[in-house]
């Protein structure tokens, strides 16, 4: 059994078959074969070996002709490995006696060989592990043929194990079959984490290298609460986690009655609980938990799931589905929060060395007005179908905000001239995600109808920490006193002006921070749908004076560790059933 510690980004426990993703995207479709199918499977393995040998020999001859026999010898070594009688004997034994499928046997045997090379002190010999991985891919390619499955063509439940997942891969996941994520890299707020929360599946990122230690089809456990990944679990561990899965189901059932209860504190102060969504289908999850509306509709995946820019109708169709489903409850649509490096149909940025500080979000929108106007037209058209609000991301200066509002006004004029209906009093809001916005918040409150604090970005910009960098992720902390003071200043300015302030970052969906945020004056929480009922439970268990006392104490502390320990203790004291 092997345990890996990573970063917990989506809660829950998943036990299931591993789907190991590499740059070939192979999936081992089955682990075992029936007794009467053994001979046919051995014959299939023979054919795959022969086809792989023919390919290698062809490559050897072609390279030898072009570059000389010295370079062709690389492929000769591959041929020798493929013809090794010991390897073939192991594979035959696995298939005949243990009834492993040829795919599983090949992956298991060759990866064990690769691990031996990787542990050798000789760097030259350690690098030979790559040759073995290359050989594994070649044989699997011939074994699987047309039966290869990618992330978008799954046919059975899996846990996805990958070095990383691209935005387009995550956007196109088959949510029916993907039951959990693990990635070697990444951090809080990464695309993998966001999609995992949207799918309501356990996810752990930033584990470091481990893919060579596991083969597709093997049993894996993902603990999204503790950030643990367990490879080759023993029977006792499996039984313990199966019991935990049952406990999670029981807790979910206990929370269900809260759905129809009023969202307010124990002393009767109203609290609005909204849902964060990425995809239209998530509106169902929000309705099931009794959400007061949609506090953050991220629109990036309209772009990330397509090879070309989505047209106005694609935007309108997605927005109208959500707005109609919510009825008279508010739906806050955030304009695209993308970096130039993530939009495939735009020219590659020439010098985008740090996308977090580059051409992204509202900056990208104002640089690409046709794309921006396209989205705004769809939002305005959908505004007559319900209670729609528009929100601009990553605003850092007043002039930037006014520029965005001016573009919106121009689009309104265009629709007016074309006789297309829209809400002329559409509420306009902005994300507070950079310290500069907080420092100028007294000016911003005069320009907008509402504010939404995006703590995922606010934390990384305030603390100078790349939230996707595992080397510094320990410094990325919502409990940091500097972050708390930025949040407190924003809430105070909004409340003083009389405009709603919500908090839509991951922090708002964590029950550890609920009392603190209530004590700071927050009355609008926007969280992942799965967190709505837990947050409601905390709200209904505490009074505002209790929360204000917690907030005042937390603001006097000087480090994140003490703050988080204190907050956890207070929630445990007032809401012991959460089990924090």
Phi, psi of 418 (to 5 degrees): -90, 0
| Lookup result for tokens 């209790």 | 546
> Where is pLDDT greater, at 344 or 514?
514
Contact 514, 535 (CB under 8 A): yes
* Distance (Å, whole) CA 535 – CA 512: 10
Chain center to CA of 244: 23
* Distance (Å, whole) CA 64 – CA 540: 75
Q: CB under 8 Å to 150, separation ≥6 — which residues?
A: 25, 27
Q: Which two tokens stand for residue 92?
A: 């035959």
As annotated, the active-site residues are 191, 504
Res. 569: pLDDT tops 90: yes
Q: Which two tokens stand for residue 181?
A: 């994520």
Provide the angle, in degrees to the nearest 10, between the axes of the packed helices 129-144 and 38-67: 120
Chain center to CA of 382: 27
Chain center to CA of 494: 30
Res. 298: pLDDT tops 90: yes
Res. 478: pLDDT tops 90: yes
Strands 228-231, 219-223: pairing is: antiparallel
pLDDT of residue 510: 93
3-state class (DSSP) for residue 19: strand
Reported as a single tens digit per residue, the pLDDT across 279-288 is 898 999 999 9
Q: Which two tokens stand for residue 560?
A: 């994140």
Res. 189: pLDDT tops 70: no
Strands 387-392, 428-432: pairing is: parallel
Reported as a single tens digit per residue, the pLDDT across 57-103 is 888 888 788 777 777 777 888 888 888 889 999 999 999 999 998 98
| Mean pLDDT confidence for 4-14 | 90
> Where is pLDDT greater, at 388 or 120?
388
The runs of H, that is alpha helices, within 396-476 are 398-417, 435-439, 441-444, 455-463
Q: Which of 481, 501, 483 is nearest to 492 (CA)?
A: 501
| Lookup result for tokens 């995207």 | 25
Domain 261-348+356-575: CATH superfamily, name plus number: Phosphoenolpyruvate-binding domains (3.20.20.60)
Reported as a single tens digit per residue, the pLDDT across 204-252 is 988 988 887 887 788 999 999 889 999 999 999 999 999 999 988 888 8
Domain span(s) for CATH 3.50.30.10 in the chain: 2-27+150-250
Q: Which of 355, 347, 350 is nearest to 371 (CA)?
A: 347
> Where is pLDDT greater, at 53 or 344?
53
Reported as a single tens digit per residue, the pLDDT across 389-407 is 999 999 999 999 999 999 9
Contact 333, 313 (CB under 8 A): no
pLDDT of residue 73: 78
**Mean pLDDT score across all residues of the chain:** 88
- What Å distances lie between residue 172 and 85, 190, 197, 202, CA to CA? 42, 16, 15, 18
The runs of H, that is alpha helices, within 479-525 are 481-497, 514-519
- What Å distances lie between residue 204 and 164, 242, 408, 497, 529, CA to CA? 11, 18, 39, 40, 19
Kindly calculate the radius of gyration of the chain based on its CA atoms and give it in whole angstroms: 27
Res. 538: pLDDT tops 70: yes
Q: Which of 144, 129, 130 is nearest to 52 (CA)?
A: 144
pLDDT of residue 443: 97
pLDDT of residue 154: 75
CATH top-level class of 2-27+150-250? alpha beta
Exposure class string for 449-487: b at 16+ Cβ within 10 A, else e: bbbbbbbbbbbbbbbebbbbebeebebbbbbbbebbebb
| Mean pLDDT confidence for 186-196 | 71
pLDDT of residue 365: 95
Give counts: helices (H), strands (E), the chain: 23, 16
DSSP state of 260: G
Instruction: State the DSSP H helix or E strand holding residue 276, giving kind and residue range, or none if neither.
Output: strand 272-277
**From the candidate CATH numbers 2.60.120.20, 1.10.600.10, 1.20.1440.230, 1.10.274.10, the one assigned to the domain spanning 35-147:** 1.10.274.10
Instruction: State the DSSP H helix or E strand holding residue 327, giving kind and residue range, or none if neither.
Output: none
Domain span(s) for CATH 1.10.274.10 in the chain: 35-147
In percent, the amount of the chain with pLDDT more than 70 equals: 90
pLDDT of residue 125: 67
* Distance (Å, whole) CA 479 – CA 506: 12
Res. 172: pLDDT tops 80: no
- Given pLDDT bands bounded at 50, 70 and 90, which one contains residue 563? very high
Domain span(s) for CATH 3.20.20.60 in the chain: 261-348+356-575
Phi, psi of 270 (to 5 degrees): -70, 140
> Where is pLDDT greater, at 465 or 353?
465
- Given pLDDT bands bounded at 50, 70 and 90, which one contains residue 358? confident
| Mean pLDDT confidence for 505-532 | 95
> Where is pLDDT greater, at 25 or 441?
441
Residue-by-residue DSSP string for 37-86? GHHHHHHHHHHHHHHHHHHHHHHHHHHHHHH-HHHHHHHHHHHHHHT-HH
- Given pLDDT bands bounded at 50, 70 and 90, which one contains residue 387? very high
pLDDT of residue 23: 47
Three state DSSP letters for 158-202: EEEEECCCCHHHHHCCCCCCEEEEEECCCCCCCHHHHHHHHHCCC
pLDDT of residue 138: 84
pLDDT of residue 104: 85
């Amino acid at each position: 059994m092997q345990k890996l510690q990573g970063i917990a980004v989506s809660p829950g426990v998943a036990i299931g078959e591993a789907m190991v993703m590499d740059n070939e995207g192979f999936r081992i479709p089955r682990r075992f074969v029936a007794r009467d199918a053994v001979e046919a499977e051995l014959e299939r393995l023979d054919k795959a070996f022969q086809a792989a040998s023919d390919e290698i020999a062809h490559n050897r001859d072609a390279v030898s002709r072009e570059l000389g026999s010295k370079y062709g010898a690389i492929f000769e070594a591959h041929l020798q490995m493929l013809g090794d009688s010991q390897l073939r004997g192991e594979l035959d034994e696995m298939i005949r006696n243990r009834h492993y499928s040829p795919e599983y046997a090949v992956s298991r045997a060759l990866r064990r060989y690769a691990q031996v090379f990787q542990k050798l002190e000789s760097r030259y010999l350690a690098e030979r592990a790559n040759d073995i991985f290359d050989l594994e891919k070649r044989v699997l390619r011939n074994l699987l043929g047309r039966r290869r499955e990618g992330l978008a063509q799954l046919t059975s439940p899996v846990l996805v194990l990958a070095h990383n997942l691209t935005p387009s891969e995550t956007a196109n996941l088959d949510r029916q079959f993907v039951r959990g994520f693990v990635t070697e890299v990444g951090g809080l707020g990464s695309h993998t984490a966001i999609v995992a929360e949207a799918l309501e599946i356990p996810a752990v990122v930033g584990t470091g290298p481990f893919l060579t230690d596991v083969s597709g089809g093997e049993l894996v456990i993902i603990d999204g609460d503790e950030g643990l990944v367990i490879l080759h679990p023993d029977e006792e561990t499996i039984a313990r986690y199966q019991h935990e899965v049952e406990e999670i189901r029981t807790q979910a059932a206990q929370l269900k009655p809260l759905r129809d209860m009023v969202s307010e504190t124990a002393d009767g102060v109203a609290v609005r609980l909204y849902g964060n969504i990425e995809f239209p289908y998530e509106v169902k999850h929000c309705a099931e938990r009794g959400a007061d509306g949609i506090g953050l509709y991220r629109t990036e995946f309209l772009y990330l799931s397509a090879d070309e820019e989505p047209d106005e109708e694609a935007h309108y169709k997605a927005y109208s589905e959500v707005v109609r489903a919510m009825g008279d409850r508010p739906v806050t649509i955030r304009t695209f929060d993308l970096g130039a490096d993530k939009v495939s149909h735009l020219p590659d940025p020439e010098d985008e060395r740090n996308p977090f500080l580059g051409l992204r979000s509202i900056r990208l929108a104002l640089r690409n007005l046709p794309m921006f106007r396209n989205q705004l037209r769809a939002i305005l058209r959908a505004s007559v179908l319900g209670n729609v609000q528009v929100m601009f991301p990553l605003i850092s200066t007043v002039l930037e905000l006014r520029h965005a509002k001016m573009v919106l006004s121009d689009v309104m004029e265009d629709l007016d001239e074309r006789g297309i209906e829209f809400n002329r009093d559409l509420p306009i809001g902005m994300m507070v995600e950079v310290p500069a916005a907080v420092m100028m918040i007294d000016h911003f409150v005069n320009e907008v109808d509402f504010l939404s604090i995006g703590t995922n970005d606010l934390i990384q910009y305030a603390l100078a920490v790349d939230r996707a960098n595992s080397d510094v992720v320990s410094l990325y902390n919502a409990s940091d006193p500097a972050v708390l003071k930025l949040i407190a200043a924003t809430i105070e300015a909004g409340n003083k002006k009389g405009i709603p302030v919500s908090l839509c970052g991951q922090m708002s969906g964590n029950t550890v921070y609920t009392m603190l945020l209530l004590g700071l004056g927050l009355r609008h929480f926007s969280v992942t749908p799965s967190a709505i009922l837990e947050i409601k439970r905390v709200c209904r268990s505490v009074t505002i004076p209790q929360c204000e006392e917690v907030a005042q104490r937390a603001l006097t502390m000087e480090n994140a560790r003490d703050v988080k320990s204190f907050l956890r203790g207070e929630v445990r004291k007032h809401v012991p059933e959460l089990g924090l």
